[in-house]
Structure 1
């Protein structure tokens, strides 16, 4: 049986890229240009509706090479169509991929509601209620913008990428967040309290969507890892849009899960500008190769 799939690909150069010889680096630079061509073809076909490059803001903890990442959302009618895209990808054998199956925020909200309702069984007797109240007292109270009676899922505009538009306004920042490692060992009580904060996050996201500060967003389908055993941490992807880095920091810290989730973050660049930069890099390698040929 076939079924539609939507997958976010986060594509990075290998960590050992700096040790590659110039020929291998040049080959990858030209592969990146071919990848842009592939994205354009699939954009016209309706499969790639969203795509971004990145600016050189890599890591505050580990040394990284100065090469851009790609963020691409591929929409396919079935897994075979997605498989074809990946098989054709010029970066498949010289890059590393994070693959994130997506669902809408609204669809995931319904599942989270079912989870929350099942965890409310703690309130079935006086002893459980007393224990919940005791533990709950050590956590922050709900934020002022949260109203349990009115919280509802809001899907962001998710405006499609214009592959020919190189204009940018402010800072666009992707945040991919998942539940903390080790949450598989939580008690049901702690899980119930954490689920409350997930609904605070829906209220937070809804507020920022209404203010135009979250422009794109998805939840993450249940999927872990094909190499090693992992716990199934739920997560979400949003793109924040801020006037500058100061406002971005404020929006980031406003997140009720700021200290209780793990995040991957990317400073996004529009795909048109990324293409221009990648073509220049490929030309730089071509000139260097031509100069070496003349000297020899």
Structure 2
């Protein structure tokens, strides 16, 4: 999962992500986006960000792939791939590190080695000279293996990444802790990148009953003939501000340097200013540079994470 240098920059990269029952995708060459889009999928194919049926998904994505060939990067939900920071003694050899990782998977997480895919990487940040930090990613094979049967013979899956790893490496110029918020109509997701190379993940599900009890209803935004379900702005501001205080606490918030927002669940052109006023922190788009192929701000808000993934695998 951590192999950063296996892509050929001259080839097309297709980055894909499942969010609830939607598939989002971006075709890139270098920094240029030449096609992006999304589709809502049947619940027997995708549910809760998990691919249930590769055979059901393959014919649905085939029209999007026609005429292209290249390599695929899959961004997996933080609800599917779990990241764990292990603090281990310095001086362990490869065999000893492998043993400690396997021991954590089987004894601490209670998973069978034959049922999971995993990878790990040493991090440069150390608590003491006698310790090293190892970042471990673990996912059930049943959540990853089906992707191999989706994209056809002209495409090769070369990279699978937890979304938390993408955000942990998205803003290398920002050395201070920061927060990434993704607001979808059914879920608030937050990654707190703490400055050590780890992104801590928090999430909260939304439903119609929750909003009705708070006195809100879903809103429909019609843009170019396509209707998108969005959350009421005031509801989002209240949920985000209370969640950040609950998850990070006052001390954690004081060390946050910036908040980056994306997702299709709210109008970010309005939400950024109000969140910034409420939180007292700069609230930014996930990329503030002009990206060729993203014609609207909404493109960055929906597909900005996938664009970051394509850039990371080409670095």
TM-score (norm 1): 0.28
Q: Between Structure 1 and Structure 2, whose CA radius of gyration is higher?
A: 1
Q: Higher strand fraction: Structure 1 or Structure 2? A: 2
Higher relative contact order (CA 8 A, sep 6+): 1
